[in-house]
Amino acid sequence: MLQELITESYLYRNWDYVSKSPSIFAENRENVLRSCKPFTKEQVNDILALVDNLIDKNIWNQVMGDSKYKAHQSSVSLPMIKRYVEMIIVENKFPPPDIMVDNGVIIEGHHRYVAAKIVGWENDLNERPCIAKKMNSIREWSEVKVDILDWDF
């Protein structure tokens, strides 16, 4: 089941059109989402179960192992990731699609990236260039810790 979640896109039947052009998605995301078929209840349950298990280092490494970016943060908040995933699959909303990237390193948007990767939307995020003040803390995702604390509260 985990491998299916990682390799299959549980998104929408017309998703290839959107994936090839993130700028179209960013500009017209409400129209696109209205015309697309939502996740099934079974898919939602499977994805949420996967998110709950991200605290397991082996599952984290399987999910994040083939990421096209490196991380700047040393940890991420599991409740924040779960909120973004729920926003996508339950509420049919897309979190802010921009992530700030400097030379292949995410500077801002770690939680959005992880959530998008879990549901297969990794390529639909808009990469915005930025210059990081400190680049001495570049990490592989396997080095990033998953924190069970909610950073928003």
- pLDDT one-digit tens code per residue, 22-55: 334 444 455 444 445 567 888 888 998 999 999 9
In a domain, 51, yes or no: yes
* 24 assigned to some structural domain: yes
**Between residues 98 and 15, which one has the greater pLDDT?**
98
Amino acid identity of residue 152, one-letter, is D
Number of domains in the chain: 1
* Both tokens assigned to 120: 């297969």
Residue 141 lies in a domain: yes
Q: Whole-prediction pTM value?
A: 0.73
The per-residue pLDDT for range 104-119, each reduced to its tens digit, is 999 999 999 999 999 8
Distances (CA, A) of 140 to 15, 58, 126: 29, 14, 21
Q: Is there a domain that residue 20 lies in?
A: yes
Average pLDDT score over residue span 132-148: 86
Mean predicted lDDT score pLDDT of the chain: 77
Question: Does 31 fall in a domain?
Answer: yes
Quote the CA–CA distance of 3 and 50 in Å, as a whole number. 11
**Domain range for 107:** 2-147
Residue 152 counted as domain residue: no
User: Does any domain span residue 121?
Assistant: yes
Structure-model confidence comparison of residues 86 and 131, the more confident one: 86
Question: With 70 as the cut, is the pLDDT of residue 16 above it?
Answer: no
pLDDT over threshold 50, residue 123? yes
Work out the pLDDT band at 8, boundaries 50, 70, 90: very low
Compare 10 and 58 and report the one with higher pLDDT: 58
Q: Is residue 153 part of a domain?
A: no
Total residues found in the chain within this entry: 153
pLDDT, position 120? 85
Q: H helices within the chain, ranges in order?
A: 2-7, 15-19, 22-34, 41-52, 57-64, 78-89, 110-119
Which phi and psi angles does 114 have, rounded to 5°? -60, -45
Whole-angstrom distance, CA of residue 118 vs CA of residue 132: 26
